[in-house]
Amino acid sequence: MTIAQPYLLFLADAPHAKTAFGVRHWRPDACAAQFRYPGSTLDLGLPEMTPDQAAAAGVKTLLIGAAPAGGMLPDRWVGDLVAAIRAGMDIASGLHARLTDVPELVAAAKAAGRRLHDVRHPTENFTIGGFERRPGKRLLTVGADCAVGKMYTALAIERELRARGVAADFRATGQTGILIVGSGVSVDAVISDFVAAAAAALSPAAADDHWDVVEGQGSLFHPAYAGVTLGLLHGSQPDAMVLCADPSRTALGDFDAYPQPDLAECIALYTDCARLTNPDARVVGISLNSSSFGEGEAAALIARTEDRLGLPCVDPVRTGVAAIVDRLGVKGR
Amino acid sequence: MTIAQPYLLFLADAPHAKTAFGVRHWRPDACAAQFRYPGSTLDLGLPEMTPDQAAAAGVKTLLIGAAPAGGMLPDRWVGDLVAAIRAGMDIASGLHARLTDVPELVAAAKAAGRRLHDVRHPTENFTIGGFERRPGKRLLTVGADCAVGKMYTALAIERELRARGVAADFRATGQTGILIVGSGVSVDAVISDFVAAAAAALSPAAADDHWDVVEGQGSLFHPAYAGVTLGLLHGSQPDAMVLCADPSRTALGDFDAYPQPDLAECIALYTDCARLTNPDARVVGISLNSSSFGEGEAAALIARTEDRLGLPCVDPVRTGVAAIVDRLGVKGR
């Protein structure tokens, strides 16, 4: 799916807006305006516009960038969404609840010829291809666990590659990433048979010096989601993998009974599995989310990890990702 | 889903009926009758009945046991399916095309209060559990490749366990297996996020000496389907795995460019991955489909494999599976 930009970021009366802040951080040029309800405590620092004003200013899509409790779409939002559609905008949502389940939105979109993007619910069909090696280069962020910074790391690497003049595209595999860049596939919502095919379609054949930077999902060490991770790994056929971890955790985030895997064990299993579809696959660096540690502790942890594993180690927020990108052998402008 | 038995096996005018022959072989007591069109070249050796006669004889479900070319439901079959519904039977199908997409069938089923089972298209919702070890014993057949005898081997092991007086249940994960035993989940058609949860639901907590014999899917060495395989492996948390392979193949069945993996490599990766959810998991035997070899060649191959890997090796058709079941440490009646 491709979502037209720029966006009106719809914050309404929601208490949090992780997605909106992510879009604002990674794609500032895609963010034209914000629309808040009176009393909102959120602020993206964007011009305030109503749907009518935004449409008149050339905004293409109202993005629901805030998550109400429970993931349901509040009835009180529907009127403004209908107004946005009538003004000529598409609507994009990363909520579990589907826009297409709201009859008023479906009717308005049909009448106005606009689109409703439920990015958590892929509608494409994917064809199983031959799984040959494709030209172009691919990097995949992989995790010791879920929610350890795989999207953030991938976006930071895309930014660093582009800053060096290298052609690079972040490939989104989850709802936040899709809304940030305006395209992608929620792979965990794809029928299991087609996950690898969807991943292959997401990073198609490209020029030899082009990098697709694919957002990883889940973890091979996560008992519920490892299958999604493996399908994404095989379909992406990465040349390079960056292993992401949260060193403050001792157990998996979702399951107390499961320990955090050792990073060396992660490197071994990811490499072993990735080589099925790309014999050259290797882990090129480690990305730690060290936000629970103080500055000194974090620096020591990063140095120790680098030393123990013999790979560049970064915290993308604290150190940037240049040390990892140095290892990709890219020649910039 | 649970499908009421016994069945009227609907062969119609189809050229092949792999599913019907599988049901006949593994669940003869579930097969009450067959219904063929004039000129049919198939014969299951069952009494011939029309839908009306079958319903009068107490048959619960008409099973579409034959696959027409392309997997579509031929229009010329619809009248007889409607007649079966009106006579009081449910319909079960393993075709890609959905019964629920045929308005005449939906209307007839609604009017008669009967059910349409599209076993390739799961309708259940699965909840991610805690992935704790569950009581009871589980065996999973795993593959070096797709289509190497995982369902056949699992059914043969269930039969052998039951013959020894051990409580055992085959757990179906694909459409043919589901139609054979009347329940199960087509795991490759489940949303990828829920594959492990579906597998866990399929082999729930049971008595300590009960064996669930779970039908494997795909292969960890198959670039398109390994994710399905891994989710099924983690959710099933097998105590025992039986590795199935076709020794006549040099490449994967689906992909010429991918070699058949070495069996020792398969044992290592399956064991490594399975231990995430069951630290006691081990491969207990090898099941070869040696049908392309002569009797003497096959015997030599089986002996050589046994010798090289230090595990019992069988061809379930030629030798039975007793040598593997001997290794499960079961105490029969």
Residue range B146-176, pLDDT digits in tens: 999 999 999 999 999 999 999 999 999 999 9
Query: Over chain B, what is the mean pLDDT?
Result: 96
Helix, strand, coil shares of chain A, percent, nearest 5, are 40, 20, 45
| Contacts with A126 (C-beta within 8 Å, 6 or more apart), sequence order | A190, A194, A197, A198, A201
> Would an 8 Å CB–CB cutoff place A268 in contact with chain B?
no
Task: Report whether B173 contacts B184 (CB < 8 A).
Answer: yes
Q: Is residue A174 part of a domain?
A: yes
Please write the tens of the pLDDT for every residue from A303-322: 999 999 999 999 999 999 99
Distance from CA of A257 to the nearest CA of B (A): 8
A231 touches chain B (CB under 8 A): yes
* Cβ partners under 8 Å of residue A331, min gap 6: A166, A209
**Per-residue pLDDT tens over the stretch A165-187:** 999 999 999 999 999 999 999 99
**Residue A125's pLDDT is what?**
85
A contacts of B226 (beta carbons < 8 Å): 196, 230-231, 234, 273, 276
Q: Is A29 part of any domain?
A: yes
Q: Indicate if A197 and A298 belong to the same structural domain.
A: yes
pLDDT at residue B223, rounded to an integer: 96
**Does residue A125 fall inside a structural domain?**
no
Q: How far apart are CA B266 and CA B261, in angstroms?
A: 7
Give pLDDT, residue B332.
73
Distance CA B258, CA B146 (A): 13
Residues A48, A149, single domain; the answer is no
**Which residues from B are below 8 Å from A257, CB to CB?**
130-132
**CATH number of the domain that residue B310 is part of:** 3.40.50.300
- Same domain membership, residue B318 and residue B171: yes
**B285 φ, ψ (degrees, to nearest 5):** 180, 170
Identity (one letter) of the amino acid at A58? Answer: G
Residue A102 lies in a domain: yes
Would residue B43 count as lying in a domain?
yes
B255/A228 Cβ within 8 A: no
In which band, very low, low, confident or very high, does the pLDDT at B72 lie, cut at 50, 70 and 90?
confident
Peptide bond into B6 cis (omega under 30): yes
Is pLDDT above 80 for B277? yes
- Same structural domain, A148 and A297: yes
> Would you say how long chain B is, in residues?
333
Same domain, B178 and B97: no
In 3D space, the residue among A151, A126, A154, A159 whose CA is nearest the CA of residue A138 turns out to be A154
Cβ contact B224–A187 (<8 Å): no
Mean pLDDT of B301-321: 98
Which helix (H) or strand (E) is A112 found in, with range? helix A103-112
The residues that bridge with A282 in the sheet, in sequence order, are A240
**Model confidence over B56-65: pLDDT tens digits?**
999 999 999 9
- Can you point out the beta strands (E) in B76-229? 90-93, 116-118, 137-143, 168-171, 211-214
A300 and A197 fall within a common domain: yes
- The answer to the question of residue A15 being in a domain is yes
pLDDT at residue B269 greater than cutoff 80: yes
Q: Which residues of B are less than 8 Å from A201 in CB distance? A: none
In which band, very low, low, confident or very high, does the pLDDT at B123 lie, cut at 50, 70 and 90?
confident
Q: Collapsing DSSP states into helix, strand and coil, what is residue B333? A: coil
Contact call for B228 and A193, based on CB within 8 A? yes
Amino acid at A309: L
Q: What pLDDT, on the 0 to 100 scale, is given for residue B127?
A: 86
**A312 and A207 together in one domain:** yes
- Give residue A165's identity as a one-letter amino acid code: G
- Those residues whose C-beta lies under 8 Å from the C-beta of residue A17, and which sit 6 or more positions away, are A9, A11, A42, A44, A65, A66, A67
Average pLDDT over residues B40-55: 96
Residue A3: how many CB atoms within 10 A of its CB? 21
Phi and psi angles of residue B228, each rounded to the nearest 5 degrees, phi first: -60, -45
Question: What CATH number does the domain containing A77 carry?
Answer: 3.40.50.720
pLDDT tier at B130, thresholds 50, 70, 90: confident
Residue of A nearest to B230 (CA): A227
- State how far residue A230 is from chain B, nearest Cα, in angstroms: 5
Output the six-digit token pair for A133. 């090696």
| Co-location of B106 and B153 in the same domain | no
Q: Same structural domain for residues A204 and A279?
A: yes
| Radius of gyration in angstroms for the set of CA atoms belonging to chain B, rounded to a whole number | 20
User: Are A322 and A268 in a shared domain?
Assistant: yes
Residues A143 and A43 in one domain: no
CA B84 to chain CA centroid, Å, is 26
User: Which helix (H) or strand (E) segment is B296 a member of?
Assistant: helix B295-309
In a domain, B196, yes or no: yes
> Does residue A1 carry a pLDDT above 90?
no
Would you call B227 and A223 a contact, using CB atoms and an 8 Å cutoff?
Answer: no
d(CA B266, nearest CA chain A) in Å: 12
Where is the domain boundary, B84, B118, B152? B118
pLDDT at res. A89: 98
Is B55 among the domain residues?
yes
A202/B contact by beta carbon, under 8 A? no
Total residue length of chain A: 333
Considering chain A, what is the average pLDDT of its residues? Answer: 96
Residues near B257 by Cβ (< 8 Å), separated by ≥ 6?
A130, A131, A132, B251
Q: What token pair was written down for A140?
A: 């995949």
Using CA atoms, how far apart are residues A214 and A154, in angstroms rounded to an integer? 7
The tally of domains found in chain B comes to: 2
For B102, the domain range is 7-118
* Range with the poorest average pLDDT among A9-23, B120-134, B301-315: B120-134
ipTM of the complex: 0.93
Rounded CA gap, B43 and B32, in Å? Answer: 14
Say whether both B45 and B145 belong to one domain: no
Phi, psi (rounded to 5 degrees) for A199 = -65, -40
- Residue B9 pLDDT: 98
Does residue A66 surpass a pLDDT of 90?
A: no
